Amino acid sequence: MADVEQLQQDYLAQIASADLAGLEEIRIAALGKQGAISGLLKTLGQMSAEERQEQGPRINGAREAVTAAITTRKDALEGAALNARLAAEAIDLTLPPAASAQGSVHPVSQVMDELAEIFADLGFAVATGPEIESGWYNFTALNMPETHPARAMHDTFYFPDRNAQGEEMLLRTHTSPVQIRTMMAQKPPIRIIAPGRTYRSDSDATHTPMFHQVEGLVIDKGITMAHLKWTLETFVKAFFERDDIVLRLRPSYFPFTEPSAEVDVGFTVEKGKRVIGGDPTGPNGGWMEILGSGMVNRKVIEHCGLDPDVWQGFAFGCGIDRLAMLKYGMDDLRAFFDGDLRWLKHYGFSSLDVPTLSGGVGA
């Protein structure tokens, strides 16, 4: 048994330089069922009492020393491996997290945000109102008499019941009632846009029974058509993000504005597609109507309790869905409301792409 100390020292030397795989081999060779130290422990049963008393502590001491050395070395190697892994896989917690696919922003919602951003920069506030309106707010206050075609059943969704005042109730056909409510509740000067859902009995590739509209209203002293034209030019250039856009105002008729004008925007054909901007008088150019506008009719101002000799204003309106189609290249309005995830994935926007004038409203 004189070699017990030497055997212990040999194993300790091997352990000090072994890797994790080598440690397992040493453990089996020394402490396994057929291991050298395990074999020495088995010989204790063949010794006399005096020999066991002498050799037992030496053999057990060797077993404990080798076991402790293996444990210490294994802990050190595993700790070093963990530290190396942590150093190699360091995470910069100051970076924003990767965006996960959680759906997308609908093009209509995106365009609404773009409109709000543009007009906020021009000093406009966003106004809202009820989608169920009375005939007075939707028609009469807007200088549309009982015999006006828009009040016919085939153009408007009416409710069978009337309100407490006996007025007919309907789904608003435009957001113009928001203008009336604002003029009646707020003292001039007024600068608002009124985006929202509207309803008309119509359905084809470019019309749906429910659609989105935005209208604008300015009421102040000394307002002229020049103010209207500048506002529309600034808006259209900012929205389509082009400076070479040309507008054309054509005389028209709306009962709530006088004079009234249809607004056309110049476009060019590029690679077989119509693109807003460029020279509309060139060989590949043309004009496209995008909105209606005009100076607010004196009768509308009077209906709202204002003096038309003191206060003047202009109004305009256009379809939000149509603006989205023109800007982002969609050709069928009905797809906006089909709920097709493939369409939404293709045309949708990331929730992190918030439109700004500095970063681009079409981000």
**48: how many CB neighbours lie within 10 A of its CB?**
8
Q: Alpha-carbon distance 217 to 179, whole Å?
A: 7
Q: Among 64, 66, 65, 46, which Cα is nearest to 1's?
A: 46
Are the beta carbons of 242 and 275 closer than 8 angstroms?
no
Strand partners of residue 281: none
Instruction: Consult the annotation and say whether 5 binds a ligand.
Output: no
Q: How do beta strands 125-126 and 190-199 pair?
A: parallel
DSSP state of 97: P
Q: Among 182, 121, 213, which Cα is nearest to 313's?
A: 182
Q: Among 86, 81, 175, which Cα is nearest to 127's?
A: 175
Q: Two tokens at 115?
A: 């409109």
Secondary structure (3-state) at 245: coil
Q: Among 140, 162, 160, which Cα is nearest to 151's?
A: 140
Strand partners of residue 265: 247, 288
Per-residue HEC secondary structure of 156-221 comes to: CCEEEEECCCCCEEEECCCCHHHHHHHHHHCCCCEEEEEEEEEECCCCECCECCEEEEEEEEEEEC
**Residue 103 zone, left/alpha/beta (φ > 0; ψ -120 to 50; rest):** left
Q: Alpha-carbon distance 62 to 9, whole Å?
A: 9
- Known binding residues are 258
- Known binding residues for Mg(2+) are 258
